[in-house]
Chains A and B, each alone.
Chain A
Amino acid sequence: MSVAQIWQKNCRLVFEYSVRTLLLRKASWAGTLAFAACLAILFPFAFGTELIQKAEIRHGAFWAINEFVVALSVARLFSVESEGGMLEYFLSTQAHRSALLFGKIFYIVLYLLSVQVPLLLMWVVFYNVPGSVVASLGTRIVPLLLLFNLGTGTIGALLACVTARSTARDILMPLLFYPLQMSVLLAAVSLATLSDPNVVMLAGTSEQSWWTVMLGVPVVFLALGVLLSDVLFQE
């Protein structure tokens, strides 16, 4: 079997077992969704029901909730493997470490999307989302969510690998993650608002620039993941 085939098998194995663990531990997924739902319900009260009619906060609220979901998910990306000692076992099998990284990236993209799809429906209902935005869900918001998840998941998984076995993980993760991920968040919010004809956010920056950020971040961090794979999980 070639090195590429072994890599592919290991990547698939990590992804498959992460998904299977998620299905077995439904409570953590349901908990994240319940938390996101609470935020979606509470935000209108915090901003005032009149303000919620305004498009300015509609998009910001949606992506802010997404950011909370990301915070809950990314920090715990390797918790299952670390808890049972499987991370060390897997590292000892000489499996390529980037296979572990990529398996986890695919998993986190899927995980975030599984929370975001029901959240999107709640958002449409609770935030009086206009028809033009609803019509663009499939053509703009969902692709944006996928790219947001890919960018966020790539940065998150890479940093989670680096900090997985560090004693300062709880401090290091947010310190490193948020400054890097902020560009993806800003790009996602800006591009999402373009589907709303009445809103102009972060004006002065072209749509193309934000798309470059959305597409460029995953590419850069995936490449970094491959280049740094030998030092991932290094103690």
Chain B
Amino acid sequence: MGQGDHTAALKCDSVELRAGYRMLIRNFTLALNCGESIAVVGPNGLGKTTLLRTLCGISRPYRGNVYLGSHMLWPEKSEGCTADVCFLASQPALFLDHSVDSNIEFYLRSIGRSVQQHEIGKVLKLVGLGDRSSQTARTLSTGQKRRLTLAFINLAKPKIIFLDEPTNGLDSEGISLCLETLETTRKSGSGVIVATHDQILIDWCQRQVNLKEWAR
């Protein structure tokens, strides 16, 4: 999966999303290529998070088809649809009672990666958590928890990454680090979809998708 590989990592067509009986967006169509970054923008409540959750397989769309590579994800998940995809929510997902190291281990094992301990140490140092590898995740600040998820992205480089407001809680140094991490990951061939209001992040993305266009 190189930089020049433009196979669509994710495709969706005619997707309709609803929140209860309320329609959020309809006829939404998107294709994400390997090594591409897309910013999903739009006002609050339009369905950015719901869209990301649908595209990564957590929530079922009301209507429409979603494909991960050549495998169908919605409406019926096809056999062998095991593409390495991860969704990092606006609140970093962590085992709060586990250490930083243990959380990284879980992240990596969940998508079938194994990384040498010294590599993990190096990346943790890079994200500013070098001296906190044995610290419990519960005791980390919001920004540090976010940095931990950045360390995971850096180590795992999943094929597709869905990020919901990834710069929330990060200081300016953290935001630069986030952009650097995403850029490195994108260049390695990962597709990145970000739901954000952060202009710096929007500017970094190669394409923008404004959900207003698909709102009812």
Residues of the B chain whose Cβ atoms lie less than 8 Å from the Cβ of A80? 95, 97
Please measure, in the bound complex, the distance between the C-alpha atom of A48 and the C-alpha atom of B205, giving whole angstroms. Answer: 74
Contact between B87 and A88, CB atoms less than 8 A apart = yes
Residues of the B chain whose Cβ atoms lie less than 8 Å from the Cβ of A25? 97
Residues of the B chain whose Cβ atoms lie less than 8 Å from the Cβ of A84? 93-96, 137
Given A94-B81, A94-B83, A230-B77, are A6 and B93 neighbors across the interface (CB < 8 Å)?
no
Contact between B83 and A6, CB atoms less than 8 A apart = no
Contact between A17 and B106, CB atoms less than 8 A apart = yes
Interface residues of B in 64-116 (CB under 8 A from A): 68, 77, 79-89, 91-98, 102, 106-107, 109-112
CB-contact partner of B93 in A9, A86, A235, under 8 A = A86
Given A1-B112, A94-B68, A234-B60, are A89 and B93 neighbors across the interface (CB < 8 Å)?
yes
Minimal beta-carbon separation of A81 from chain B (angstroms): 8
Interface residues of B in 109-129 (CB under 8 A from A): 109-112
Residues of the B chain whose Cβ atoms lie less than 8 Å from the Cβ of A86? 93-95, 106
Minimal beta-carbon separation of B101 from chain A (angstroms): 12
Residues of the B chain whose Cβ atoms lie less than 8 Å from the Cβ of A9? 109, 112
Please measure, in the bound complex, the distance between the C-alpha atom of A230 and the C-alpha atom of B76, giving whole angstroms. Answer: 9
Asked whether B58 is an interface residue with its Cβ less than 8 Å from the other chain, the reply is yes
Residues of the A chain whose Cβ atoms lie less than 8 Å from the Cβ of B59? 235
Q: Mark A1-33, 1 if CB is under 8 A from B, else 0.
A: 101001001100100010011001100000000
Please measure, in the bound complex, the distance between the C-alpha atom of A58 and the C-alpha atom of B112, giving whole angstroms. Answer: 49
Contact between A94 and B95, CB atoms less than 8 A apart = no
With both beta carbons as reference points, the residue of chain A lying nearest to B56 in the complex is identified as A92
Minimal beta-carbon separation of A98 from chain B (angstroms): 12
Q: In this complex, which of B68, B91, B93 has the most chain A Cβ atoms within 10 angstroms of its Cβ?
A: B93
Please measure, in the bound complex, the distance between the C-alpha atom of A84 and the C-alpha atom of B96, giving whole angstroms. Answer: 6
Residues of the B chain whose Cβ atoms lie less than 8 Å from the Cβ of A89? 86-89, 93, 107, 110
Chain A binding surface, main DSSP class: helix
Residues of the B chain whose Cβ atoms lie less than 8 Å from the Cβ of A228? none
CB-contact partner of A94 in B82, B94, B102, under 8 A = B82
Contact between A85 and B82, CB atoms less than 8 A apart = no
Given A89-B87, A89-B89, A91-B58, are A21 and B95 neighbors across the interface (CB < 8 Å)?
yes
Q: In this complex, which of B106, B109, B110, B137 has the most chain A Cβ atoms within 10 angstroms of its Cβ?
A: B110
Residues of the A chain whose Cβ atoms lie less than 8 Å from the Cβ of B84? 93-94
Q: In this complex, which of B53, B58, B77 has the most chain A Cβ atoms within 10 angstroms of its Cβ?
A: B58
Asked whether B57 is an interface residue with its Cβ less than 8 Å from the other chain, the reply is yes
Minimal beta-carbon separation of A109 from chain B (angstroms): 21
Asked whether A226 is an interface residue with its Cβ less than 8 Å from the other chain, the reply is no
Asked whether A211 is an interface residue with its Cβ less than 8 Å from the other chain, the reply is no
Report A's interface with B, CB cutoff 8 A: 1, 3, 6, 9-10, 13, 17, 20-21, 24-25, 80, 83-86, 88-95, 230, 234-235
Question: Could you give 12 example pairs across A and B, Cβ below 8 Å?
Answer: A3-B80, A6-B82, A13-B109, A24-B98, A80-B95, A83-B96, A84-B137, A85-B92, A92-B58, A92-B86, A94-B83, A234-B60
Known: A94-B81, A94-B82. 18 other contacts (CB 8 A): A6-B112, A10-B110, A20-B102, A21-B95, A24-B98, A80-B95, A80-B97, A83-B96, A84-B94, A84-B95, A86-B94, A88-B93, A89-B93, A89-B107, A93-B85, A93-B86, A94-B84, A235-B58
Going nearest first, the 10 A-B pairs with the smallest beta carbon separation are A92-B87, A85-B93, A89-B93, A92-B56, A24-B97, A84-B94, A84-B96, A91-B58, A93-B110, A86-B93
